[in-house]
Amino acid sequence: MEYFIFIIAAYLIGAIPSGLIVGKVGYGIDIREHGSGNLGGTNTFRVLGLKAGLLVTGSDILKGTLATVLPVLLGAEVIPLIVGIFAVIGHMYPIFAGFKGGKAVATSGGVVLGVNPLVFMIVLATFFLLLYLTKYVSLSSMATGIFAVILTIFLGEFGLTIVITILTLFVIYRHRTNIKRIINKTEPKITWM
């Protein structure tokens, strides 16, 4: 019963559409009608700018972290990583936004932050290094996920390895149109780095 309660709670936390809320409340814009139509941080950066993008990305990270640490704070006998996966599912398929959400990157990072802040910081640094080198947010996100799998294997964090592998598969699946655009050389690059 505890698992059921925390899984539902995690899904609902993950399903809070940060991009939609920030866009509508702060700017009077439905982010889904602009740019890529995605609710995540990258589209928010492109459409609404730095402040909104940081707010949405930060909120999406915190959704994963909150869902993961909540059972620990309440002393529940559940595995936080398993619960965290459902926050990511909620972020990708939010009940509050027609089941059309983000691409799982920031919320997945939040799950990792909730269980191993050191791994999160290493992975975050890797993401920005790859972003600097490639200028592709999508490619950097996918490659960072693969790096995180390898890193956790090296560190002997096998439970985390399994969950990060699942989350990386989510990220790659959600970026399948980006992969096509990268191959066709039509994927937009960042210009601020």
pLDDT score, position 192: 79
For the chain, percent of residues with pLDDT exceeding 90? 92
pLDDT score, position 191: 84
Q: Quick one: tokens of 50? A: 């730095």
Helical spans, DSSP H, in the chain: 2-14, 18-21, 27, 41-48, 50-73, 80-92, 105-115, 117-134, 137-155, 158-174, 176-183
How large is the average pLDDT for residues 100-116?
A: 96
How large is the average pLDDT for residues 20-38?
A: 92
Dump pLDDT digits (tens) for 59-99: 999 999 999 999 999 999 999 999 999 999 999 999 999 99
| Alpha carbons 75 and 157: distance in angstroms, whole number | 22
| Alpha carbons 79 and 82: distance in angstroms, whole number | 6
